[in-house]
Structure 1
């Protein structure tokens, strides 16, 4: 991991920067795997870019919007995981997930996310993701329930009693339009990671988000602190709900110079 106290990598100039667009900027050459994301809840807080810089893989820097970067806490249901054009994996291909993510860009200007942790309530996907992409999945207990128009997510990491999160949300059928910061945070077409001594970019594509008006009723979190960042004390700056999208991931490419 880079030294969290060094600002040099954060200040490095990297151009051009891929624009934030409502649709994926390019088509995938090949689909490595497919999945459906459902009932997504996005919570976001501003965070110190210098703190973030030390948590990103080599070859990337914090992605900024008007000089600020963010940490996201995202709750959703993963459904119908499938590889290539094969049918979805029964049972093991559907699970709930909660992740802590940061926002990155690389020397080619590609914007992405960096996962600091991914809670999952199925053990086999945890082991598979760690073995293939070295993603920081954690085997956790996750409960998600609808109560009329109110949605509850609750998670606790197995073996780590102080790592968990909860969100309680009221959702309406009224569409809502994200503001520029929310577009910056949710229009992401790949992830940056590091595996086997190299940093990589894993592209994805999905239809345009469809958000609905929602109200945050309650929340709690200790996953962000467990991921190496300051624990949020204030309510999130942004709260979004999306019914879901089908997603396709392409093949990873190594970042130059890493």
Structure 2
């Protein structure tokens, strides 16, 4: 499929696609795409983005969307669809950004019920796919999505709408163009390097819809709480091509700083931080949790270690992986390994066992006296 956007695209499907994909790596269809969009303050979105991306604004606002659809006909170009994984429901939280390759989409989370798409998307496209149940309820006039995430953390959300026949006139609705004419995705690798991939799709058969119910727990979990009545849309089906992902090179020494927050009443935590300090570079600072004033970071009491900055926060094993990524080659390899889905699950079990018993372990190892680091360090 060449560029599918024709001369009448402003009426039927949004803006012109700015590129063609001559050698797509993946083909898919999005069926019953259901959108709910909220305006938010730009700083809220900016706080969750990595270095190199900025919120894309419409009328001074950033935007956050919940999007549910059925993935259909998913396959790698040149290969037949893989049984049991070519069709499944997906529900994602996304926001809109500008980056080195132009405007695009930043996915905060993408929930699907199958493990294989999670592994392929995380390893091949560095996209934050999560596993959970995604239930879809349809009638002739309504559609509803319900999500219960089980990995890598627990969260839930829902969106149900009443369908209408009122088509969106893109020539009269620039906000609809802004929200749906997106031809690029961005993600970051484990090492924090920005990645991008182009995509194209047919003109959206977009119609207006009416909200019945929404639960925004998935947006809350992504650090993007939304309030108020959303704008809702529905589209019956579009065919999509995805191009080869590529790295967006960072200039040398352009890594954003990060802060490692740790439980300084824990001997194991303090000893671990002393060890990390010997190897991490100048972009890393360490801060005992007694200095925290951000309510979002209250999870530290349970997690023991949190990393903020450069698109964070990261918790638990993800925080360890992020910190190790700022060390030498061996540390970066270890950090990358524990970020892989299967390894991360096993490491998460060990981490939580240690975190929940860290005071007892500290006492057994005789590390109680080392609980507080000198403020001068």
Q: Give the drift of 1:33.
A: 0.5
- Residue 140 (structure 1) aligned with residue 135 (structure 2): no
Q: Distance in 2 between matches of 1:247 and 1:159?
A: 27
Look up the match of 1:44.
37
Q: Give the drift of 1:44.
A: 0.8
Look up the match of 2:227.
233
Secondary structure of 1:129's aligned partner: helix
Deviation string 1:145-185 (CA, Å, 9 cap, x unpaired) is 21221111111112689611112211133423252112101
- What does 1:1-258 correspond to in 2, within 5 Å? 22-108=15-101, 110-158=102-150, 163-178=155-170, 179-197=173-191, 198-230=193-225, 232-236=226-230, 238-257=231-250
Deviation string 1:181-239 (CA, Å, 9 cap, x unpaired) is 12101100010111143211110001111112321112222000101122x23121x11
Report 1 or 2 for greater relative contact order, CA contacts < 8 Å, sequence distance ≥ 6: 1
Per mean C-alpha deviation after superposition, the further-off stretch among 150-159 and 183-192 is 150-159
Q: Distance in 1 between matches of 2:22 and 2:213?
A: 42
Aligned residues: 236
Q: Which has the larger radius of gyration?
A: 2
| Cα RMSD after superposing both structures | 1.9
Q: Distance in 2 between matches of 1:44 and 1:174?
A: 18
Look up the match of 2:294.
none
Q: Distance in 2 between matches of 1:149 and 1:221?
A: 23
Bigger helix fraction: 2
Q: Distance in 2 between matches of 1:251 and 1:107?
A: 16
Secondary structure of 1:59's aligned partner: coil
Determine if contact 1:53/1:62 at 8 Å carries over to the other structure: yes
Bigger strand fraction: 1
Task: Tell me the TM-score normalised to structure 1 length.
Answer: 0.85
Structure 2: runs of 5 or more not aligned: 1-12, 252-377
Task: Tell me the TM-score normalised to structure 2 length.
Answer: 0.59
Secondary structure of 2:137's aligned partner: strand
Task: Name the CA shift for 1:116/1:159 in 2 (closer, same or farther; >3 Å).
Answer: closer
Determine if contact 1:28/1:205 at 8 Å carries over to the other structure: yes
